[in-house]
Amino acid sequence: MNFRKPTIPLYIIASLLFGLKTYIVYRFMFNVELDNTMQEFILFINPFVSAFLMFALAVWFNKPSRQMKFIRYTGFIATFVVFANLVFYRQFTDFITIPQLFMGSNMSDLGSSIMTLIKPFDVLLFADTVIIWILSKRKVETLSVSYLKRGKVFALAVSMLLLAGNFFLAEMERPQLFTRGFDREYLVKNIGLFNYHIYDIVQHSKAETQRVFADGNELNEIEEFIEENVKNDEKSEMFGAAEGKNVIWIHAESLQSFVINNEVNGEEVTPFVNSLIKDEDTYYFDNFYEQTGQGNTSDSEFLIENSMYPLSRGAVFFTHGGNEYHALSEIIGNDGYTSAVLHANNGSFWNRFQMYNSLGIDHFYDERAYEINEENSIGWGLKDKPFFEQSIKYLQSLEEPYFAKLITLTNHFPFELDEEDKSIEPYDSNSNTLNNYFPTVRYMDEAIEDFFAQLKASGLYEDSIIVIMGDHIGISANHNKAMSMYLNKEEITPYDQVQLQRVPLLIHLPGDGDGETISNVSAQIDIKPTMLSLLGVEVENDIYFGNDLFAENRKDYIALRNGDFVSDDYVSTAGICYDRETGEPLEENIDKVPETTDTDETNACSTINEKVQMELQYSDDLIYGDLLRFYDFD
């Protein structure tokens, strides 16, 4: 008697191979923090759960050929999703969101940046896909299955049961997991990459409907929160200090505070900025934080113009470029200022043409306004030195007073620089990104020094204030090993990671004479009210979440876009509350909503955390609902 040898169905083989591959990517290619054995177990099972849920759908195809076709194409598409997220993660330490898929027009300008993120061994990600493809072609009859309806239902039920078990363990490990949608790492490590993407689709659909059903009634609650927690009507001593002066704003690409007053290979990294900090006409903020999300430079522009937070998903410049805003440029424009942006890049990048119109910006000088050739450009475009040199004529042509924002390019990932432009040697570590960062920062520092000389020579210097601000971080957490080596630390802790989000802010007022270093906790959200105050512009009706940097009674915390925060006394990140001065963790679960309003050490972080989450949510509501269209600014 002949018996057919039992064969494992291809959908199960595919689930096992794909699940194992995805776990390896999670564990060894994504920088996912694991705090205990349960988190390790959940991280291990969730890729297999997701894989079985996808591939088990094949049993609903009755024809073996269609069943095999579904499995092989599902494997290829799912692998590409993993690969795309891996490449994205290497640059941003984050996962792709649906809004970013609508930012495809940016891809044409990424060029060498993407190529540096793709590794030769990435081809191994497709190894299981090749195996599945071959088996699906050659073993159609032996690896396909033909279940009765109850067998198909059973396979689906097993999938749902596994998914429910995964979610149950995730909720046990991280209560209220789905209320922390802004923290994509928590979602991926607890429910898996593919379930995260489904969740993201749901969230995106939900957000898109907000504008349709918004009617402006939401503004009352937001205004009440701002009145109680943010607003400060007292004028600072600096009110009107720059009244009538031009504002020349230098948007310093990827400039972080850790290089300021620091050295590499025995050389100062930023000698000119260091000297400018000591200048009696400069106000330097050394505890100033960037608050950008996935929109990077565009997010920092959004922050300084609106004093609202960028979105946690995608770039607001893309997703809500047509909204109604009450931006800094528009406000001072009504007070007689001309506004301009100078940026030698593709004007459509980050949807700037539409967004600048929404922000009330009068002029935009993009790459078409500059002479760019192979000799004076590298990486993302025109080098900083010729950029500043060519920009002088445009500043001279603007009607005064003006607010002109110059956005630099050279100090941009992957931090490429011609040998003749290098004044200092790269650092020596296991990270080429960090190594090459120092020469490009030095080049930008020299370019800014030359620009100051050009401003003086052209007669623009005395009648202007010059602001230099780092727009966002340049070195992500993927380079923490090299960063710990440079900073002479055993490791980069979550507390250290927050400190690395500090970027320099210098406000230089020629002839002021009272400059100083100000160490109060501050952030990009504070720029709009600060600039309005310096220019002596009073605004009675407006909605914003920042404070004048020179004011006495400011709110005592700043929120980061991922939900972390820094206060005068505490740093909150990764669910842990730290003492801000010492960096020592406090025994406290900051996600627990406090039952009292006491601000002693035992619940201070929880109290602030509640305000931070509300502040971020209200800012999101304003953008998603386009609520400012209902607001009376007069």
Choice between 111 and 469, residue whose per-residue pLDDT is larger:
469
Q: What is the mean pLDDT of the chain?
A: 89
Supply the pLDDT for residue 245.
97
Q: Is 261 left (phi over 0), alpha (psi -120 to 50) or beta?
A: left
Supply the pLDDT for residue 178.
65
| CB neighbour class for 482 (10 Å; exposed up to 12, middle 13-18, buried from 19) | buried
- Residue by residue, what is the 3-state secondary structure of 35-100? CCHHHHHHHHHHHHHHHHHHHHHHHHCCCHHHHHHHHHHHHHHHHHHHHHHHHHHHHHCCCCCHHH
The sign of the CA dihedral 549, 550, 551, 556 is positive
CA-CA distance, 278 to 612, in Å (whole number)? 34
Half-sphere exposure of 558 (CA within 13 A, CB side): 29
Half-sphere exposure of 627 (CA within 13 A, CB side): 22
The pLDDT of residue 320 is above 50: yes
The pLDDT of residue 596 is above 60: no
Supply the pLDDT for residue 113.
65
Q: pLDDT tens across 72-120, in order?
A: 999 999 999 999 889 888 876 778 877 666 555 555 555 556 777 888 8
Supply the pLDDT for residue 449.
98
Which residues are catalytic, by number? Answer: 297
The pLDDT of residue 594 is above 50: no
**Percent of the chain with pLDDT strictly greater than 70:** 92
Residue type, 510: P
Contact, 445 vs 453, CB < 8 A?
A: no
Identify any residues that bridge with 432 across adjacent strands, giving them in sequence order: none
What is the enclosing helix (H) or strand (E) of 155? helix 149-173
Specify the range with the lowest mean pLDDT, choosing from 83-87, 461-465, 526-530, 588-592: 588-592
Please identify which residue in the block is written with the tokens 């900083």. Answer: 384
- Tokens (6 digits) for 367: 């790459």
Contact, 95 vs 193, CB < 8 A?
A: yes
Specify the range with the lowest mean pLDDT, choosing from 262-266, 326-330, 348-352: 348-352
E strands in 238-279: 246-252, 263-264, 267-268
Q: 183 falls in which pLDDT band (50, 70, 90)? A: low
pTM (2 decimals)?
0.79
Closest CA to 72 of 3, 155, 16, 134: 134
Q: pLDDT tens across 225-259, in order?
A: 999 999 888 899 999 999 999 999 999 999 999 99
Q: SS3 of 302, please?
A: helix
Average pLDDT over residues 386-412: 97
Q: 380 falls in which pLDDT band (50, 70, 90)? A: confident
Supply the pLDDT for residue 592.
45
Set out the domains of the chain in order of their start, with CATH numbers.
10-209 (no CATH), 248-551 (3.40.720.10)
Specify the range with the lowest mean pLDDT, choosing from 97-101, 121-125, 189-193, 340-344: 97-101
- Tokens (6 digits) for 115: 């190529």
The pLDDT of residue 483 is above 60: yes
The pLDDT of residue 621 is above 80: yes
Supply the pLDDT for residue 179.
57
The sign of the CA dihedral 260, 262, 264, 265 is positive
Q: pLDDT tens across 396-405, in order?
A: 999 999 999 9
